[in-house]
């Protein structure tokens, strides 16, 4: 089967390995994606070499362009380089064995068959020969092409061994199922459930890499539901796992907040590739279990879950090894504010309330509105349409107030240095009192957001707290 080998890079590799008398094969995800005709196929290429992968990488890179930098990873026996849009990795064929309790394999040189056996799934064990005498020859020892046709995730060897050797493959199975819209073979999925606790030997860095790929799928809810069914979610993100289930009292039940959260994630994924907005969607109701309360005669309450949820984000990010920087703060902000536009949409919208929302959300206001619209998961179309129409009104009001008052990324017209100079004082609480008074007056619409009005109020507030302007200030 001669497929997908028209790119110049394969001709160059073929010439070099043939001249050197070395067998080489393109293998794995590139072959899979090429057969599936996925749009992004063809840029990340894995080449298996029967022999020393590092030496041949240098020769191939030199043949293409002597200026190419080759990155070598001796501990793994691999080397890679980038050329044009390609990222090409070369590895010597190897076989691996693991000791129970270790995440590090014992690696030995091996044959192509050995290398294909150590692959995670049949659809990733497909290989194509690159040598001139067999160029384009297709090697599929585990019937991976049939699994592609059947849209099935299955391991090359007995799944218990595959997952025990590298438990991260359990998450990868679910990620591929979600990414490709495939099913997981029954025997394979049963083995994932049986081996779930072995995930504990995998580093958090490897886990979060897979989780981030999962969250960036077109339909990520499928993957998170599979993680929960497999018993992996409780180990990876127990706070999300705790959201599942419905409780009923006095005939009143709350919704399954796990299912709701992953539906919100799906909704946001249709509109944005911002991974941190997707994380905010997944975690927006994360504090509902700890704030859940039943009030007789009224129903279920999750009062303050947005505030409590925002407080939980840093610890969740720390455990997951997600960045503890402005990305985390962005997610925190959206979780904290996600109910505010909903409240505005259910009442007559005051200019003051809109100004305060613009002030607190800043440049993230558009993302916040996307999250709020994604939060509507009702199956009642009339109710959904009504909510979306209300949000449209909120958006219009936000635009109107922003154009009029320029509140987004608000900077006070009078800063602290001017207050110090005006009253001839040193830094202290008086500066904060005056700045807060100016900010609140602008947000409440008492004064416009301009310098003259702010300075006038500064002088008035200063006198009220016993300050006197210097002669030069007057």
The residue among 373, 392, 409 that closes a domain is: 409
Tell me: do 397 and 446 sit in the same domain: no
Pick left, alpha or beta for residue 409 (phi over 0 → left; psi -120 to 50 → alpha; otherwise beta).
left
Tell me: do 343 and 459 sit in the same domain: no
Banded pLDDT at 409 (limits 50, 70, 90): low
Length of the chain: 474
Give CA–CA dist 437/415, Å, rounded. 12
252-253 and 138-139: which strand pairing? Answer: unpaired
User: Do 362 and 319 form a contact (C-beta atoms < 8 A)?
Assistant: no
Banded pLDDT at 472 (limits 50, 70, 90): low
The residue among 92, 123, 143 that closes a domain is: 143
> What are residue 19's phi and psi, to 5 degrees?
-65, -35
Tell me: do 383 and 445 sit in the same domain: no
Average pLDDT over residues 200-205: 94
Strand partners, 293: 301
Give CA–CA dist 277/259, Å, rounded. 18
Task: Report if residue 303 sits inside a domain.
Answer: no
Kindly tell me if the per-residue pLDDT of 112 is higher than 70.
yes
Tell me: do 35 and 99 sit in the same domain: yes
What's the CATH number where 123 sits? 3.30.460.10
User: Do 285 and 261 form a contact (C-beta atoms < 8 A)?
Assistant: yes
Task: Report if residue 48 sits inside a domain.
Answer: yes
For residue 382, the enclosing domain spans 339-409
Pick 223 or 72 by higher pLDDT: 223
Tell me: do 32 and 120 sit in the same domain: yes
Banded pLDDT at 450 (limits 50, 70, 90): confident
Q: How far is CA 324 from the centre of its chain?
A: 14
- Quickly count helices (H) and strands (E) in the chain: 24, 15
Kindly tell me if the per-residue pLDDT of 408 is higher than 70.
no
Pick 53 or 459 by higher pLDDT: 459
Regarding pTM above 0.75, the answer is yes
CB atoms within 10 A of CB 185: 19
- Give which of 151, 146, 150, 147 is closest to 179, Cα–Cα: 151
Average pLDDT over residues 334-342: 92
Banded pLDDT at 1 (limits 50, 70, 90): very low
The residue among 101, 118, 143 that closes a domain is: 143
Number of domains in the chain: 3
Task: Report if residue 366 sits inside a domain.
Answer: yes
Average pLDDT over residues 260-280: 97
- Give which of 288, 31, 246 is closest to 136, Cα–Cα: 31
The per-residue pLDDT for 52 is 79
């Amino acid at each position: 089967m001669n497929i997908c080998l028209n790119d110049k890079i394969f001709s160059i590799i073929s010439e070099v390995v043939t001249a050197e008398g070395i067998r080489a094969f393109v293998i794995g995800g590139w072959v899979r994606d090429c057969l599936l005709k996925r749009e992004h196929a063809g840029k990340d290429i894995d080449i298996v070499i029967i022999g020393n992968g590092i030496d041949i990488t240098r020769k191939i890179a030199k043949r293409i362009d002597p200026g190419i930098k080759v990155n070598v990873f001796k501990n793994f026996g691999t080397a890679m380089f980038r050329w044009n849009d390609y990222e090409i990795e070369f590895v010597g064929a190897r076989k691996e064995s693991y000791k129970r309790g270790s995440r590090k394999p014992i690696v030995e040189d091996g044959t192509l068959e050995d290398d294909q056996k150590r692959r995670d799934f049949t659809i990733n064990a497909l290989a194509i020969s690159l040598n001139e005498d067999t160029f384009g020859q297709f090697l599929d020892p585990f019937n991976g092409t049939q699994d592609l046709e059947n849209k099935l995730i299955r391991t090359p060897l007995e799944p218990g061994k595959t997952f025990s050797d590298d438990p991260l493959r359990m998450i990868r199975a679910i990620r591929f199922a979600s990414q490709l819209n495939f099913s997981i073979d029954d025997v394979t999925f049963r083995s994932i459930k049986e081996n779930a606790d072995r995930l504990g030997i995998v580093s958090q860095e490897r886990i979060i890499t897979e989780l981030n790929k999962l969250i960036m799928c077109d339909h990520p809810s499928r993957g998170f539901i599979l993680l929960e069914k497999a018993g992996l979610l409780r180990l990876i993100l127990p706070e999300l796992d705790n959201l599942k289930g419905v409780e009923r009292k006095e005939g009143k039940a709350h919704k399954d907040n796990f299912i709701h959260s992953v539906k919100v994630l799906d909704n946001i994924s249709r509109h944005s590739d911002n991974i941190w907005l997707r994380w905010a969607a997944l975690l927006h109701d994360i504090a509902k279990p700890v704030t859940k309360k039943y009030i007789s005669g009224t129903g279920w309450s999750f009062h303050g879950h947005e505030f409590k949820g925002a407080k939980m984000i840093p610890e969740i990010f720390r455990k997951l090894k997600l960045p503890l920087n402005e990305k985390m703060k962005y997610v925190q902000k959206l979780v904290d504010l996600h109910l505010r536009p909903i409240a505005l949409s259910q009442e007559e919208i005051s200019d003051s309330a809109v100004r305060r929302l613009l002030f607190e959300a800043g440049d993230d206001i558009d993302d916040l509105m996307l999250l709020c619209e994604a939060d509507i998961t009702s199956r009642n179309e009339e109710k959904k349409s009504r909510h979306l129409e209300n949000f449209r009104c909120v958006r219009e009001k936000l635009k109107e107030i922003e154009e009029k008052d320029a509140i987004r990324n608000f900077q006070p017209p009078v800063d602290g240095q001017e207050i110090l100079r005006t009253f001839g004082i040193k830094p202290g609480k008086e500066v904060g009192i005056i700045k807060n008074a100016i900010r609140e007056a602008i947000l409440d619409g008492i004064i416009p957001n301009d310098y003259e009005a702010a300075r006038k109020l500064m002088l008035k507030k200063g006198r009220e707290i016993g300050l006197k302007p210097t002669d030069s200030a007057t």
